[in-house]
Amino acid sequence: MKKKFKSRASEWLSKNIGRARRDNKKPDWIGEGDWKLLQEYWASDAFKKKSHAGKKNRNSKAGKESQYHGGRIPVTTHVERLTKELTRAPLKIEVFEKVYVPKSGDPPTRVVETKQKYNEMKAQAESQGKSYDEDDSELFCAVVPLYKGRWFGTRSEAESLS
């Protein structure tokens, strides 16, 4: 309940302060001194730089290329469902496709490229006698980029891959 309150309060505060900034009208619940501080901050180069970076990131196509399409369901739940559906433990690449390909079925470029690279490396490894039919963690980690100490597309199970 506390988490939900913080989330809703944060959303409400952001929306109302944004509206006040846009309309340049001080809300009743903000004191004069605080309003002046907010206006000074909004006029600063630091804020303008952050604002510009945020706009650029929101409009970036790269962000949509790696967008999670698993909904509010954690990756671990998708793994459990795939295990039941396939009657075996799913490969990392299968989970990756499940959560990063939208319901429309049109995979983003990044997913297609990752899958192609994965298949090429898998074929090369199989020609040398290696098999990734049961556990492809090693191959997956070689193909998928490491980002902030985690492998892209693994979410909560990232720690178990290293």
Residues 114-149 pLDDT 10s? 889 988 988 888 888 887 777 787 888 888 777 677
- Taking the C-alpha atoms of residue 58 and residue 37, their distance in angstroms, rounded to an integer, is 27
Instruction: Flag whether 156 is in a domain.
Output: yes
Q: Which two tokens stand for residue 7?
A: 């989330």
In a domain, 32, yes or no: no
Asked if 49 and 41 touch (Cβ cutoff 8 Å), the reply is no
Task: Answer yes or no: is 132 within a domain.
Answer: yes
Is 68 part of a structural domain of the chain?
no
pLDDT by residue (tens digit) across 4-41? 888 899 999 999 999 999 999 999 999 999 999 999 99
pTM of the model: 0.56
The reply to whether 13 falls in a domain is no
Q: Is position 70 within any domain?
A: no
Residue 3, domain member (yes or no): no
CA-wise closest residue to 51 among 22, 11, 25:
22
How many domains does the chain divide into?
1
- Report if residue 17 sits inside a domain: no
**Domain containing residue 90:** 75-160
Tell me phi and psi for residue 150, to 5 degrees: -130, 155
